[in-house]
Amino acid sequence: MEFNSFLDYLLFEKKYSQKTIVAYKNDLNTFYDFNLDKFEQKGIKKVNYSQIRSWIVSLVADKISNSSINRKISSLNSYYKFLLKTGDIKTNPLNEHKSLKTKSTIQLPFSESEILDALNYKNFKISFEGYRDYLVLELLYTTGIRRQELIDLKIQNIDYPNRRIKVLGKRNKERYVPLIDSCINSIKKYMEFRNKLKNIKSNDALFLTSKGKKIYDNLVYRITKKYFSGFTTKLKKSPHILRHSFATHLLNNGADLNSVKDLLGHTSLAATQVYTNRSIEEIKKVFKKSHPRNKG
């Protein structure tokens, strides 16, 4: 297959996750099939920009969002950069390409009161699923870990004596994140119910379904949406918003930016600095309180 060496490069040298590699593979295969159908050309090593442009036009016609198109083109660009590196091509056909414009959307974090309301024990059943759901949300908020990092947590990743967890982040980079006392207690309570499950199929995985299987992306999303729907009017209710809330609340309460960067597992401060912007709601409160035209 044309892309095998590139996909191996992503896996073994770039240390990308299997999920990310599958996304790259799908994007490349989609363009390969388009090129074969439209231009009757096997392979995409030797294409010109007009062919890529035709693909972009077809994606727009299919009502694919600009952000999704940009991601597909980014996959293609990475492939051509790899071919330049290996000497298989002399020029990158995407050298002059400019990304499509996308709407910038502001993702508001949950407020501290919304978090407290949603993470009220009264909202959770005294059952395996109730304790699991509570711990999922508490860990996401009190550690700021990513959804996939939470899914991949293993029982042996919990360091009780040092009150921390070992997290396997992007590109298989490990980091330790501290646990607050309430989170330690929640883990212990959850484990009591987990240990009573029958037919456990994923012995090492911390979080399981009621059937003993490792939890999955959509389940974590559904858990977040379920418990926050009654306590916030914000449209976005996802695990990432809990990560966003974790960082925002730490910074609002005086945490050092570099420390937050390390906790989040970011490789650069640029990725962390987006959380330094105060939420729209907070800005409105300050405006209403401080602007002379609002005083009366």
Give the residue numbers annotated as catalytic, written as ranges.
146, 170, 240, 243, 266, 275
Do β-strands 164-168 and 174-178 pair in parallel, antiparallel, or remain unpaired? antiparallel
Whether residue 78 contacts residue 24, with contact meaning beta carbons closer than 8 Å, is answered with yes
Give, in order, the Cα–Cα distances in Å from 214 to each of 34, 117, 142, 200.
36, 28, 22, 9
- The answer to whether 250 and 225 have CB atoms below 8 angstroms apart is no
Q: Give me 161's structure tokens.
A: 């004596």
Burial 40-51 (b: 16+ CB within 10 A, else e): eeeebeebeeeb
Return the ∠ at Cα 135 (arms to 150 and 177), rounded to 5°: 50
Comparing C-alpha atoms, which of 59, 83, 54 is closest to residue 69?
Answer: 59
CA neighbor of 246 nearest in space, from 159, 130, 121, 119: 119
Angle (CA) 27-31-37 rounded to 5° is 145
